Amino acid sequence: DARVTQTPRHKVTEMGQEVTMRCQPILGHNTVFWYRQTMMQGLELLAYFRNRAPLDDSGMPKDRFSAEMPDATLATLKIQPSEPRDSAVYFCAASDTTDTQYFGPGTRLTVL
């Protein structure tokens, strides 16, 4: 069955390095979300797109984070430069016209 995929599943990097996380949404699910999950803050919405256009990125630190959707099959979330406080699990989700969101397995990021 169709699923949201994310790569990489795990990423360990050093402070200051660029990190790129990728998401392949379910074909035809035209709204794509990026979330961050930590023990302290829980699940936070960072940004989302509809039909590849950014709708809301107010949850994202603008100075170091960027999200794009170069085509309907790929969404990316970049952090440059990364910091230890960015360590978290990052989830991509895609929704259909009923607002039902389907989550990917997440990318566990550790910034040393």
Partner 1 sequence: AQSVTQPDIHITVSEGASLELRCNYSYGATPYLFWYVQSPGQGLQLLLKYFSGDTLVQGIKGFEAEFKRSQSSFNLRKPSVHWSDAAEYFCAVGSGNTGKLIFGQGTTLQVKP
Interface residues with partner 1 (CB under 8 A) are: 4, 31, 33, 42-43, 45, 48, 50, 55-56, 91, 93, 95, 98-106
Cβ distance 19 to 10 under 8 Å?
A: no
Q: How many CB atoms lie within 10 A of CB 42?
A: 9
CA–CA–CA angle 56, 60, 63 (5° rounding): 120
- Residue closer to partner 1 (CB basis): 29 or 79: 29
- Residue closer to partner 1 (CB basis): 45 or 81: 45
Nearest approach, Cβ of residue 48 and partner 1 (Å) = 7
- Closest by CA position to 7, among listed 83, 105, 93: 105
Nearest approach, Cβ of residue 81 and partner 1 (Å) = 27
